[in-house]
């Protein structure tokens, strides 16, 4: 029997102990606040000791971390007051770091306690289908082009979930090869994630093949009891006009409606990607990227880096 993970109900899938063990083995910890033996606030983090001090950052292929606070009752003024106190206490429990950066889940809408403690904030966006209960309504909410791509692709390819890791990896690599980019993460990391999610029963890959057996596109999703997450995709650049990317996403959304409540596209700050994701009719959700350059040496290093970048451009 698997060991019970006490973090299972504390935040999204990305905050779970098993996930962090997978993406940052031996490099993560958490600060917690207990009342009467019950954890009411928690902040997981990964850290790495560098030449300029301790760096607290984000693991790869992990959308968000940030604080988790137990549900609160009462008037909003009381609730915000408790949030302020709890977040301030979490911050005070963090180890002495030189630099801190985390993406908070979009459910964290109050970052004032972090501002008051010297942190800075950048707003980022994801798109979320907030209610998967009516898939017909979801389909009707897609832009006309997305619906057309799905219909076109369904005549050319079949979508299967009988997919090996290597099947997906080859398509995923092509996304970056087409752009002349090196892979931003290692195959070994994604294999660990794949193995862990299969064990937990919270991953599904949708892959579209044509009659000649050619793989057109794939969508890799994971989920918890609150939401599914479009973790990664892949496509063959020579077969992009088939519309298969839209079809595999539609199949993923329909499946997600059977196992969870929402579908998170994980967003992008790239304009071309945002335009495509927006066409699926999700609600734009702002989330906070919180950072703090605590070390003077770290601030000087980043300033020099920015100046050098400006000079070269």
pLDDT of residue 296: 66
Task: State yes or no: pLDDT of 209 exceeds 90.
Answer: yes
Rounded Cα–Cα distance for residues 238 and 261 (Å)? 35
Give the mean model confidence (pLDDT) for residues 132-141.
97
- In the chain the domains, ranked by start, together with CATH numbers, are 13-126+286-312 (3.40.630.30), 131-281 (3.40.630.30)
Q: Which tokens belong to 18?
A: 């098993």
DSSP codes of every residue in 192-258: HHHHHHHHHT-EEEEEEEETT--EEEEEEEEE-SSEEEEEEEEE-GGGGGG-HHHHHHHHHHHHHHH
Task: State yes or no: pLDDT of 312 exceeds 60.
Answer: no
Give the mean model confidence (pLDDT) for residues 127-131.
96
Segment 245-283, tens digit of pLDDT:
999 999 999 999 999 999 999 877 777 788 899 999 999
pLDDT of residue 4: 37
Q: Which tokens belong to 285?
A: 């959700």
Rounded Cα–Cα distance for residues 77 and 12 (Å)? 26
pTM, whole model, 2 decimals?
0.90
What do you get for the CA distance between the two ends of the chain, in Å? Answer: 57
Task: State yes or no: pLDDT of 93 exceeds 60.
Answer: yes
């Amino acid at each position: 029997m698997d060991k019970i993970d006490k973090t299972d109900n504390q935040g999204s899938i990305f905050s779970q102990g098993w996930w962090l063990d997978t993406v940052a083995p031996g490099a993560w910890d958490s600060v917690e606040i207990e009342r009467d033996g019950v954890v009411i606030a928690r902040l997981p983090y990964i850290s790495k000791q560098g030449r300029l001090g301790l760096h607290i950052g984000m693991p790869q292929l992990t959308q968000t971390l940030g604080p988790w606070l137990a549900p609160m009752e009462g008037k909003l003024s009381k609730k915000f007051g408790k949030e302020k106190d709890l977040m301030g206490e979490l911050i005070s429990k963090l180890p002495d770091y030189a630099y801190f950066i985390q993406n908070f889940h979009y459910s964290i809408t109050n970052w004032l306690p972090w501002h008051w403690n010297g942190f800075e904030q950048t707003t980022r966006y994801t798109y979320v289908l907030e209610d998967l209960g009516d898939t017909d309504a979801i389909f009707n909410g897609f832009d006309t082009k997305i619906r057309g791509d799905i219909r076109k692709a369904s005549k050319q390819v079949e979508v299967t979930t009988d997919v090996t890791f290597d099947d997906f990896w080859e398509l995923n690599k092509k996304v970056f090869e087409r752009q002349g980019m090196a892979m931003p993460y290692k195959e070994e990391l994604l294999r660990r994630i794949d193995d862990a999610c299969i064990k937990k029963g919270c991953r599904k890959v949708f892959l579209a093949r044509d009659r000649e057996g050619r793989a057109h596109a794939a969508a890799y999703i994971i989920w918890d009891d609150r939401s599914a997450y479009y973790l990664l995709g892949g496509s063959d650049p020579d077969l992009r006009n088939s519309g298969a990317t839209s079809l595999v996403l539609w199949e993923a959304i329909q499946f997600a409606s059977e196992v969870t409540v929402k579908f998170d596209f994980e967003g992008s700050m790239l304009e071309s990607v945002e335009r495509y994701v927006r066409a699926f009719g999700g609600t734009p959700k702002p989330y906070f990227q919180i950072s703090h350059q605590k070390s003077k040496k770290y601030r000087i290093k980043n300033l020099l880096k920015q100046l050098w970048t400006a000079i070269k451009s």
